[in-house]
């Protein structure tokens, strides 16, 4: 199994292909060299024997026999052949036994099988021969052994064996090693991922010290895992918060019902108990509704409801709705919109966000104070500011207020679900805007919106923002 | 007698609705699934329908769609556990006239059914009359008898809505949706009460008969008498 996997792995197959083509190339190269060398040697032999036959033919007939003998005597390696035959084909001199029948006597070199006087080897050597009929009718034959090419070919073969085979095996080995290494890393990653899937959220992929693509990929995945862990932990925290916050009203309901069941004597008393129970259940439902709304906004990636929204109009409308509330609480409520700015967004959601901010501001501003709404515009940005004369949000609380259900201790007795600011944060995030919480004393929350064409591509969920949010959530 | 068809698969919910509507003098038929509901709607042509969105077999929205294609214009109140804005928009687009998210208060259901049954008559009227109240929609003036009422624009809008639906119970949720065009529940729960208090202060002067009534725990009524 392991072996077939190894052979099938693409790394190994690539190595095999490279090694194969390398071998083919080298063999072709050697073949070319051999062929060229052979041709060169033959041509050289041909020139040599042609020169020699001219030399001997030019000699007076009487000296030819001794010249041939001399010539053969000088050849210590035994690669030269010569023969002088009379017109009848009878040998007069030289080491060639018989005149080869197929030899043309026109002075051109030919490859011919020679019958020699002494037969040193089993097979007749490959010989280049040139023959010439002399003017006295004799036939002169000169030849040269070109068996050297065979030696060359054996040398070439040895070179191939010595060079090519190790190279080829090395290639294969490297391929096998690389693919094994990749497989091992994949297997390791797989095991870690399985652990993560099984719920071990702390697990990370091995990054290694190197900077190879694998390590880089691991780093990227680890970055993603970091973010997901933060998010999952935040969600788990939310689950706890929901449970705790739902418990309070439900406990009240339970106590009221339990006491009412045993103690209510009259119909009015029972109705009173029922009213209390309904109020408690309504409060629980309000929490559930607000949560669902938050999830709805956070999950809403579609920009179906988006269009051009006049921020000034929204501010004036919110002011209009909350004016009587503020008046009842003796809190001044004012709005300053110095310009008419349009942003790309969902009108209803932006209204909800601003309404939530104003709602909060009025709630936490003591009687006699002020809440002010302002809209400012600059180049590509618009700033919606809701400021009040209340206690504001302290440095330590700044991140916590965006968490779901967070209510600072001093607000514990204030009615509300505690989801208001997280809702605002979710809406702001959906639009790609920024939520800025100003320093205490005095509450100041700003929404920084992008106007003009810069605001259109909402996909600007920059990493910096994401990290900031993760930090706030954690 | 007003006849209402309820299509709802949950028996307990259906029984509670049946009992409440029965107490209020409606004649209610009940169908437990979409196919039966469709058959009953065709056979008995009720005055209004309450349709649960999630039904076994044929779902509620399909029932409404089929009926609307058959030119049945019976007002329909859609009940649903899906409360997201998109779900709501879809429910209304498929032919529902109003949308109520579960869980709901029975009084809210009754108020909405009554509102559906008594749709504001002629919206081309330019002067509305309810008891001693008179509202001129063109001049943007309001008077009670001889006394001129000095109303802010939002108060004018609220009074207009109430005068078109006089003697009907208007719940806070209805007012939020219809008058303030709210798509969400505001954090300040008494938002409507404060606005209504302002309006009532102007409409019902001292010594005059009270016209705007607070129905405890549910909403408001503008009484013509």
**Complex ipTM above 0.90?**
no
CA distance A429 to chain B (A): 18
Residue B122 lies in a domain: no
Q: Which of A104, A129, A150 is the last residue of a domain?
A: A150
Give the residue from A306, A355, A364, A386 with the most B CB atoms within 10 Å of its CB, the best one to mutate. Answer: A355
- Indicate if B92 and B139 belong to the same structural domain: no
By Cβ distance, the residue of B84, B185, B195 closest to A324 is B195
3-state SS class at A216: helix
Domain count, chain A: 3
- Chain B positions touching A292 (Cβ under 8 A) are 83-84
Residue A178 lies in a domain: no
Q: Which of B82, B99, B117 is the last residue of a domain?
A: B117
Give the residue from B83, B85, B87 with the most A CB atoms within 10 Å of its CB, the best one to mutate. Answer: B85
- Indicate if A432 and A466 belong to the same structural domain: yes
Residue A307 lies in a domain: yes
Strand segments, DSSP code E, in B53-162 are: 76-80, 98-101, 127-130, 133-136, 141-144, 147-149
Flag if B86 and A304 touch (Cβ within 8 Å). yes
- Indicate if A123 and A267 belong to the same structural domain: no
Q: Above 60 in pLDDT, residue A417? A: no
Q: Above 60 in pLDDT, residue B154? A: yes
Structure tokens at A13: 């197959």
For chain B, the residues whose C-beta falls within 8 A of a C-beta of chain A are 83-86, 103, 153-154, 180, 183-189, 191, 194-195, 197-198, 217
**CATH code of residue A427:** 3.30.565.10
- Indicate if A358 and A404 belong to the same structural domain: yes
Give the residue from A320, A322, A325 with the most B CB atoms within 10 Å of its CB, the best one to mutate. Answer: A325
Domain count, chain B: 2
Residue B186 lies in a domain: yes
- Indicate if B109 and B9 belong to the same structural domain: yes
**CATH code of residue B35:** 3.40.50.2300
| Chain segment A12-54, per-residue pLDDT in tens | 788 888 888 888 888 888 888 888 888 888 888 888 888 888 8
Q: What is the mean pLDDT of residues B176-195?
A: 83
For position A442, what pLDDT does the model report?
78
Flag if B185 and A359 touch (Cβ within 8 Å). no
- Indicate if A220 and A101 belong to the same structural domain: no
Residue span of the structural domain in which B193 resides: 127-222
- Indicate if B65 and B149 belong to the same structural domain: no
CA distance B194 to chain A (A): 6
Residues constituting chain A: 474
Which range is most confident: A240-249, A297-306, B44-53, B111-120? B44-53
Comparing A303 with A94, which gets the higher pLDDT? A94
- Indicate if B110 and B166 belong to the same structural domain: no
Residue span of the structural domain in which A6 resides: 2-150
Q: What is the mean pLDDT of residues B123-136?
A: 87
Dihedral sign for Cα atoms in the order B19, B23, B24, B25:
positive
Residue B34 lies in a domain: yes
Who's near A440: CB < 8 A, 6+ residues apart? A391, A392, A393, A394, A395
Give A412-470 as a DSSP string: TTS-S-S-HHHHHHHHHHHHT-EEEEPPSSS-EEEEEEEBGGGGS-TT---HHHHHHHH
- Indicate if B140 and B215 belong to the same structural domain: yes
* Contact assessment for residue B183 and residue A348, using Cβ atoms and an 8 Å cutoff: yes
Chain A residue closest in CA terms to B176? A321
Chain A residue closest in CA terms to B185? A290
């Amino acid at each position: 199994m392991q072996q077939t996997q190894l052979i099938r792995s693409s790394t190994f197959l690539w190595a095999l292909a490279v090694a194969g083509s390398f071998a083919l190339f080298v063999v072709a190269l050697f073949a070319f060299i051999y062929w060229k060398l052979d041709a060169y040697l033959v041509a050289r032999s041909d020139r040599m024997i042609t020169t020699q036959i001219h030399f001997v033919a030019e000699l007076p007939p009487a000296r030819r026999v001794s010249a041939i003998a001399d010539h053969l005597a000088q050849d210590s390696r035994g690669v030269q052949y010569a023969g002088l035959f009379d017109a009848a084909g009878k040998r007069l001199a030289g080491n060639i036994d018989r005149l080869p029948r197929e030899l043309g006597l026109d002075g051109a070199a030919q490859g011919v099988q020679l019958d020699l006087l002494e037969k040193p080897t089993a097979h007749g050597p490959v010989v280049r021969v040139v023959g010439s009929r002399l003017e006295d009718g004799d036939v002169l034959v000169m030849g040269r052994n070109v068996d050297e090419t065979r030696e060359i070919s054996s040398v070439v073969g040895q070179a191939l064996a010595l060079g090519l085979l190790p190279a080829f095996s090395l290639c294969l080995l490297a391929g096998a090693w690389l693919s094994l290494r990749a497989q091992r890393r994949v297997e390791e990653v797989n095991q870690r991922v399985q652990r993560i899937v099984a719920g071990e959220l702390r697990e990370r992929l091995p990054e290694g010290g190197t900077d190879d693509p694998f390590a880089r990929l691991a780093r990227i995945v680890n970055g993603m895992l970091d973010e997901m862990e933060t998010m999952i932990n935040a969600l788990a925290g939310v689950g706890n918060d929901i449970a705790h916050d739902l418990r309070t009203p439900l406990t009240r309901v339970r106590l009221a019902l339990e006491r009412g069941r045993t103690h209510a004597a009259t119909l009015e008393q029972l109705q009173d108990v029922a009213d209390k129970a309904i109020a408690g259940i309504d409060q629980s439902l309000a929490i559930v509704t607000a949560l669902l709304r938050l999830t709805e906004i956070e999950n809403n990636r579609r920009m179906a409801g988006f269009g051009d929204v006049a921020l000034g109009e929204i501010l004036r409308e919110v002011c209009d709705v909350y004016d009587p509330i503020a008046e009842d609480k003796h809190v001044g409520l004012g709005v300053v919109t110095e310009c008419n700015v349009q942003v790309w967004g969902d009108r209803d959601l932006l209204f909800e966000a601003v309404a939530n901010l104003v709602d909060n501001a009025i709630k936490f501003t003591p009687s006699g104070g002020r809440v002010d709404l302002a809209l400012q515009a600059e180049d590509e940005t618009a700033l919606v500011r809701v400021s009040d004369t209340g206690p504001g949000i302290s440095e330590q609380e700044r991140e916590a207020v965006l968490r779901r259900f967070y209510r600072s201790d001093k607000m514990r007795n204030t009615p509300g679900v505690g989801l208001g600011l997280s809702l605002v944060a979710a809406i702001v995030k959906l639009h790609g805007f920024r939520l800025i919480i100003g320093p205490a004393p005095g509450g100041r929350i700003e929404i920084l919106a992008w106007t003009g064409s810069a605001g259109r591509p909402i996909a600007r969920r920059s990493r910096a923002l994401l990290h900031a949010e993760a930090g706030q959530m954690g | 007698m007003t006849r209402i068809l309820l299509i709802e698969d949950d028996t307990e919910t259906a029984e509670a609705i049946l009992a409440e509507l029965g107490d209020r003098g409606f004649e209610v038929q009940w169908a437990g699934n979409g196919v039966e509901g469709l058959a009953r709607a065709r056979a008995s042509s009720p005055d209004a329908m309450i349709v649960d969105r999630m039904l076994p077999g044929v779902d509620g929205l399909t029932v409404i769609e089929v009926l609307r294609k058959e030119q049945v214009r019976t007002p329909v109140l859609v009940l649903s556990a899906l409360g997201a804005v998109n779900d709501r928009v879809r429910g209304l687009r498929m032919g529902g006239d109003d949308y109520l998210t579960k869980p709901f208060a029975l009084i809210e259901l009754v108020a909405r059914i009554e509102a559906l049954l008594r749709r504001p008559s002629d919206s081309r009227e330019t002067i509305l009359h309810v008891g001693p109240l008179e509202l001129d929609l063109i001049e943007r003036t309001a008077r009670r008898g001889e006394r001129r009422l000095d109303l802010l624009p939002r108060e004018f809008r609220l009074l207009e809505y109430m005068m078109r639906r006089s003697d009907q119970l208007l719940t806070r949720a209805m007012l939020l949706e219809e008058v303030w065009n709210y798509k969400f529940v505001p954090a300040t729960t008494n938002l409507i009460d404060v606005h209504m208090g302002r309006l009532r202060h102007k409409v019902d002067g001292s010594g005059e008969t009270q016209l705007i009534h607070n129905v405890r725990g549910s909403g408001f009524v503008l009484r013509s008498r």
